[in-house]
Structure 1
């Protein structure tokens, strides 16, 4: 029987039943005004909405969802919107990453437990995208993503402001005496002046790029600003396509293939995407059973030319990127590097979808023949300091620091860092290597975006803007600097990073992909005998579960019992 036969629709196990069960499933939902014909075999499209007033990047999703519904209705489907946990990176404490896996659980269980034939995921702020894709991937229904889009360019005193990126600059300028707090406050509304997520190539824009490169969106969706009317049009078309995908049974596992993940890695390198991309792509891959490791990011991404002149690695913003032609231009430039095996939600390849793209501003999007950096991707480094690897975003680093040797200045916790970093008596200069411990998945817990430690005030006052920094934490995709992140295993486990002491010599060589602690194995063994773990202080609830089950950064920081698929079968009746 064809997949499009209504008797075979998953939703008919609810709405197609006769007698008491069918009465219950249909009757109560009819209190919202749905007519009887909506339940008679139409594809039911679940709209997974992460709208929340404390997730400002997603604050426009109630309106966006209505446009998706319009498209579903036009294509003959029955849309049902449902909420899931929403993660606002700028508001939630201690870090949205702590709750990414919990949000993924709410998505997975909400989808499987309800009568959906296909899913539309409304994504925006950083962790909403990977959490929704992780959850949906484990259920494996036809799934399409609609990213909410970036804000318009910030405007402040005659120049453009980039979300996040300029925050770090302002903070440094205030510490250095170049800017007053009053001026910084004035810039707040100037930076965030429209609906949407960060307008730099931060994690939110990186995640939007990731899902399009994976093939989970309609062509061009990821780079359209939230305030542009074409985003609403794309929402309508996304709803229509969701109905068609339900008819075709184009489940998400048919799209999330090994070639699709390799494409995403290459595209991320070309746009200078966030290092957070690594963690999230690894976690998604494990949900669908694709073997992906840190080495794959090196093999497929580190040699890709960097093409997008966008903050934090360049000077333009997402609005400019869209006007220049958007992601379709990047895909066209990369056509010789991209797989032609991986299909997207419209059944075509990335190359087919982008063949008509044109570049309207080659200063924003550089041709592959004249890249900004010949090899500008995220690079994985390994050594005795992080045996399972650490990552660095080369496009956001200072070239002269990519090969460096310096004395370690160690901060045992984030509290230790805040207490001492601006102490005038801190023994540090610009040649040193700043080391931050206990900010990994278990150690914080939740792996916060603190790896791009702000430089000491006395260093900034000398006019220095970058130093080598190393931690087991993350950094915002909007940040910049020569920062080694996600050092694995993390220090909370007593790894070599936990054993670093003030005055140790650390040497990095990004081209050679190495990072080395100049301390003998024998000395490290002696230090390990004296090492004691910190008291994390959580003995109940989700955080306790997270600490006890979270995987390390090089595995994607998912919880071990969530890896893999659960499927979409519900084995028990509710009545």
Structure 2
């Protein structure tokens, strides 16, 4: 792309009053005149925040990106957007994913940028930034923050997935509060996001397998100096991408989305992957459905032995060869000719890579687990689909029939789950309603409900659990999620009653309520929503416009790519 074709020159290349204003006010930061003479202007979209601990090292990471941009002859401009901290935000960070995507989209479109570097790490920051950037469709590269170092407790490795185990042990009286504090002190030993294959690591792996980042982006630990090297190289590369006019739409093809689905199955990625990938596809204009996840990943086994589906951690994955080594194992099924941000194909990026530890990355012929990925269920309980992660489930429960124990909302669950009088046994199916996109609102990670205390005391460690909410990517268990339509909009889940029999048949992709069609229709005719509709602000906008889980829970008015032209040039 020639200098006079650069988008930023619509600002900095002007003569007269307008150009004077644009350049003069930038110069109060000590910018010399030659920076405005046709250099590619690269925006660095930074989700740094001390309220987002996973991203708290991003100011330092941004410096490395800037150094790369300067070296390649570009002009970096760092800008903040709203940051989503998974561990602190209430009621749920997912409520604000779409808001951040709008912040990113409008910030990019309204400002003089020729290309963008997305700095993201914590769970929702990655999909939010990619969604927003996709709607503008400039040359874009992603730099993830990297996983934290593996936690340590009593001589063994621990990670975020252990929190759920520690919690159940504590509730059952098998772990003291003092022991919990000891584990807490050793859990998060460095900067970075969760050290397991939770949602943050899944999202970093997603952008790498989509081709939106340089190879090895997903797994380099945040504390490793090579993370800064990758950031520097990414800064250099985005300048070249601008010159080549290589946009997001050149990378995000249907075939690239299929590659990401296959990679997610192989790594045992989070169920949240489904909802975020659907939203990204909707923004860039690629047709992707729940059925594609089943079709594309059906024969992909689990190759990566990481928590919560296995034993090891993201740090181990990096030392074993990272995502490039995983993709090399999938070479027989991948769309190998897909272009990536470094200008090379998927195959060119992995063909010289190798695996250094078969305990962590298994071969396609001898996988870690034949069961993998995210399975899409259909049935009268989830007409538009639901998902389950079989590699994190108890095999014996993947074919199960049990009596429903229904909780009408999260408050009802919290009030009754530990009641000794709760009518529940180990064969029951726990059902949680009204925690979907509209119902909560925001679709929180409460789907992996805790086991009733009376059953924990008997040694029960897993049960079938069903909801219209989500589950933390660090969670595990036989948990059915994202039931669509959700209870709050009149889905069948909303009329389930305690005592109803529910059949889960993962092998046949079925989730059924054993109630006649006539009875279901009669109940639906009497059903009334109990959801509180907020009357003001962003939450009101969210409840009015959020789509269901099978459509990615994006806003209905944000589908499609609207491009990089400013809405109106007032100067």
2:320 equivalent among 313, 324, 347: 324
Give, in whole Å, the separation in 2 of the partners of 1:495 and 1:220. Answer: 42
Which residue is 2:168 aligned to? Answer: 172
Aligned residue in 1 for 2:308: 312
Take 1:320 and 1:535, find their aligned partners in 2: how far apart are those partners?
44
Which residue is equivalent to 2:181? 185
From 11, 16, 19, give the equivalent of 1:22.
Answer: 19
CA contact (8 A) 2:337 2:347 kept: no
- Asked if 1:105 is matched to 2:102, the reply is yes
- The yes-or-no answer on 1:203 pairing with 2:187 is no
Within 2, Cα distance between the matches of 1:404 and 1:104? 39
Please show how residues 427-438 of structure 1 align to structure 2 within 5 Å: 427-438=423-434
| Alignment deviations for residues 81-123 of structure 1 (CA, whole Å, 9 cap, x no partner) | 0000100010100001000000000000000000000000001
Instruction: Please give the alpha-carbon distance, in whole angstroms, between the structure 1 residues aligned to 2:257 and 2:384.
Output: 21
SS at match of 1:323: helix
2:482 maps to 486
**1:528 match:** 524
Would you say the 8 A contact 2:533–2:543 is kept in 1? no
Distance in 2 between residues matched to 1:153 and 1:281, nearest whole Å = 27
Residue 264 of structure 1: SS of its match in structure 2?
Answer: helix
| Distance in 1 between residues matched to 2:76 and 2:449, nearest whole Å | 45
Q: Secondary structure at the match of 1:221?
A: coil
Pairing 1:136–2:133 present: yes
State the alpha-carbon separation in 2 of the partners of residues 465 and 57 from structure 1.
30
State whether structure 2 residue 125 is matched by structure 1 residue 117: no
Cα shift at 1:177: 1.2
How far apart in 2 are the matches of 1:510 and 1:351? 33
Instruction: State TM-score, norm by structure 1.
Output: 0.99
2:79 aligns with one of 82, 97, 102: 82
Q: Partner of 2:218: helix, strand, or coil? A: helix
Name the CA distance, whole Å, in 1 between partners of 2:493 and 2:52.
34
The answer for the alignment partner of 1:13 in structure 2 is 10
Find the aligned partners of 1:530 and 1:101 in 2 and give their Cα distance.
33
CA distance in 1, matches of 2:298, 2:168: 30
Q: Which residue of 2 aligns with 1:466?
A: 462
Q: Secondary structure at the match of 1:222?
A: coil
Q: Which residue of 2 aligns with 1:66?
A: 63
1:232 to 219, 228, 233: 228
Q: In structure 2, what is the Cα distance between the partners aligned to 1:459 and 1:34?
A: 66
- Residue 208 of structure 2 is matched in structure 1 by 212
**CA RMSD in angstroms, aligned pairs only:** 0.8
> For residues 333 and 569 of structure 1, what CA distance do their matches in structure 2 show?
41
Deviation at 1:189, TM superposition (A): 2.0
Structure 2: how far apart are the matches of 1:425 and 1:124?
43
Q: What is residue 278 of structure 1 aligned with on the other side? A: 274
Aligned residues: 571
Residues 1:146 and 2:140 aligned together: no
Q: CA deviation at 1:537?
A: 4.1
Normalised by the size of structure 2, how large is the TM-score? 0.99
Give the corresponding residue for 2:379.
Answer: 383
Give the Cα separation in 2 of the matches to 1:534 and 1:24: 54
The farther-off stretch of 189-198 and 373-382 is: 373-382
Preserved contact between residue 551 and residue 557 of structure 1 (Cα < 8 Å): yes
- Tell me the CA shift for residue 183 of structure 1: 1.0
Q: Once the 2 structures are TM-superposed, how far is the Cα of residue 376 of structure 1 from its aligned partner?
A: 1.1
Deviation of 1:280 (Å) = 0.3
Partner of 1:346: 342
Q: Which consecutive unaligned segments of at least 5 residues does structure 1 have?
A: none
C-alpha displacement at 1:325, in angstroms?
A: 1.1
Shift, 1:374, TM fit: 1.7
Shift of 1:359: 1.2
Q: Partner of 1:205: helix, strand, or coil? A: helix
Matches within 5 A, 1:410-425: 410-425=406-421
Deviations 1:523-553 (A, max 9, x none): 1111112211013141111100100100000
What's the CA shift for 1:49? 0.2
**Distance in 1 of aligned mates of 2:490 and 2:401:** 24
* Equivalent residue, structure 2, for 1:50: 47
Runs (4+) of structure 1 exceeding 3 A deviation are none
Distance 2:566 2:13 in 1: 16
Contact 1:332/1:357 (CA < 8 Å) preserved in 2? yes
Residue of structure 2 in register with 1:363 after alignment: 359
Q: CA deviation at 1:134?
A: 0.3
